[in-house]
Amino acid sequence: MQYTQIVQAVWGGLLFGAVYGLMALGLTLVWGAVRLLNLAHGAIFVVAAYVAYATVANLHQPILVALPVGVAAAAAFAYLMHLFLVRPVLGKPGFDNATLMATIGISISVQAAALLIFNPEYKVIPPVLQGSNLLAGVQVTNQGLLVIGTSLALFALVYLFLTYTRQGMAIRAVSQQMEAASLMAIPVVRTYAVVIAISGALAGVAGILLSPFFFLNPSSGFNPMIQALIVTIFGGLGSIRGALVAGYVLGVFESFVEVYFGVAWALPGVFLLIILMLIVRPNGLFGTGDVRRL
């Protein structure tokens, strides 16, 4: 019994951790490059999930078609946000204020729109993989394994992209020194657009793959976003390695709190952990000391 509980907690934690890591990866990329705290990240999550749901339920397509459609929609949505909300205020003195307010505004608008178009009922997105295995009395679903695998693969992909491709190097250059990068003829604004679209796509993948577990309703993006924010800060703002490690650490921690204290205390417990973390290591696990803006 006790043993099963522990396995259950670890399995749930790895699952959460994979998704939080995926969300946090998007947040941290955007933060690192654009210095934009995207509070609409949860909204992108919801957009992707609902587009995938509509593709499956209304257009009767298999989930394998819906997945890329949803991810593309998320990337497009993120790009539109860049076009209308980020680009007009780039480099202006009120950038932090404006983007913070704008992303909050967008996130509640998306929530309201989802409520209007679909109803508040919980929606079910079919999992990509069916079936499950029994491991020490715990149901380990294939979809869960897929989520963890996808998350790790995407982390690797993003890492390789940033390290070895021209576009990736441009992104890193822009995050390190925006002005110097622009002097080296790197199109800064276009690089921003690419980063934001990638981040949206990552949130989209998270949204579509996670929804079979939690069901989908208009506000289901909020919790993953807050968790991703915590993961980002825990791992160190702007650090990809941090997002990966912190995602799993916090996921497993939350899962244990849920199993032993109840679901209501999961978020407070995580918050308590992050407060302790900020006292011990104010820059997060892998943070560099220079995150002093905003």
Which stretches of the chain bind other proteins, using CB under 8 A? Answer: 31, 37, 84-85, 88-89, 93-94, 96-113, 115-116, 219, 222, 226, 229-230, 233, 237, 264-265, 267-268, 271, 274-275, 278-279, 282, 291-294
The distance of closest approach from Cβ of residue 111 to other proteins in the complex, given in angstroms and rounded to an integer, is 7
The distance of closest approach from Cβ of residue 4 to other proteins in the complex, given in angstroms and rounded to an integer, is 26
Q: Of the two residues 60 and 92, which places its CB atom closer to other proteins in the complex?
A: 92
Instruction: Give the sign of the dihedral formed by CA 107, CA 108, CA 114, CA 119.
Output: positive
Q: Of the two residues 27 and 244, which places its CB atom closer to other proteins in the complex?
A: 27
Q: Of the two residues 36 and 181, which places its CB atom closer to other proteins in the complex?
A: 36
The distance of closest approach from Cβ of residue 102 to other proteins in the complex, given in angstroms and rounded to an integer, is 4
Give the closest residue to 29 by CA, choosing from 191, 249, 181, 177.
191
Q: Residue 141 contacts by C-beta under 8 Å, 6 or more apart in sequence?
A: 127, 129, 131, 132
Q: Using an 8 Å Cβ cutoff, are 72 and 142 in contact?
A: no
Residues in the chain: 294
Q: Residue 98 contacts by C-beta under 8 Å, 6 or more apart in sequence?
A: 85, 89, 92
The distance of closest approach from Cβ of residue 249 to other proteins in the complex, given in angstroms and rounded to an integer, is 16
The distance of closest approach from Cβ of residue 142 to other proteins in the complex, given in angstroms and rounded to an integer, is 33
Q: Of the two residues 11 and 256, which places its CB atom closer to other proteins in the complex?
A: 256
CA dist list (Å): 275 to 25, 228, 272, 280, 283: 21, 15, 5, 9, 12
Q: Using an 8 Å Cβ cutoff, are 147 and 15 in contact?
A: yes
Bridge partners of residue 140, in order along the sequence:
133
The distance of closest approach from Cβ of residue 18 to other proteins in the complex, given in angstroms and rounded to an integer, is 22
The distance of closest approach from Cβ of residue 164 to other proteins in the complex, given in angstroms and rounded to an integer, is 30
Residue 289 CA, distance from chain mean position:
23
Residue 148 has, within 13 A of its CA and on its CB side, a CA count of 15
Q: Of the two residues 11 and 20, which places its CB atom closer to other proteins in the complex?
A: 20
Rounded Cα distance between 101 and 185, Å, is: 31
The distance of closest approach from Cβ of residue 148 to other proteins in the complex, given in angstroms and rounded to an integer, is 26
Taking residue 263's Cβ as centre, other Cβ atoms within 10 Å add up to 10
Q: Of the two residues 23 and 85, which places its CB atom closer to other proteins in the complex?
A: 85
How large is the angle between the packed helices 240-261 and 2-34, nearest 10 degrees? 150
Rounded Cα distance between 239 and 241, Å, is: 6
